[in-house]
Amino acid sequence: MDGGEEDFGPPPLHEFWWLHDARWYQGVLRRFGQDAANEINAEAIRFVFRRIARWYRHQHGLDFTAMSLDEFVKWFEEIPKVSWNSEMMTAEHAVTGDNEWESVITKNYSLRMLAAARALDGYECPCPQMREGWFEGMGVTVRDSRVSCVRTGGEVCRFHAVMDPRP
């Protein structure tokens, strides 16, 4: 480009929307308190991520109940990318048993931004509700447990998931 203009590339839309979300959370926190902010955030996260997974399932014509676990995990790995690009979230998923897999999140934009805004104190990480939303939208029943969380001092966020037997 001429005239000293720089090309900054396409706008980081994902980051702008997550920045909106962080500011919204802080506004609810200031006006209505920590419990209300966490409760409303968890409800919204579950709703949005259920819709994302349902959209993804229909967009790709998938029946998650008819897949092998390896195939399920491969497709599941793609769903978070609708909400976050690779600069915002890094997650790996690995099958660990017949109906079990583990998810490890090593980069989380939301936690990084909340820490930068000094809004982590009292924040309840909504990852369990996010994952519940995905599984509901995918039409599967999963027993999911959080093994560690960066928010509470873990080095990574780690989840252990067990798929209920499919018909």
pLDDT digits (tens, 9 = 90+) for 28-66: 989 999 999 999 999 999 999 999 999 999 999 999 999
Confidence of residue 97 (pLDDT cuts 50, 70, 90): very high
Q: How far apart are CA 40 and CA 65, in angstroms?
A: 30
Q: How many residues does the chain have?
A: 167
Helices 109-116 and 13-32 meet at what angle, rounded to 10? 50
The two three-digit tokens of residue 59, written as one number = 């967009």
| Whether the predicted model's global pTM rises above the 0.75 cut | yes
Q: How far apart are CA 53 and CA 41, in angstroms?
A: 18
Q: How far apart are CA 139 and CA 151, in angstroms?
A: 29
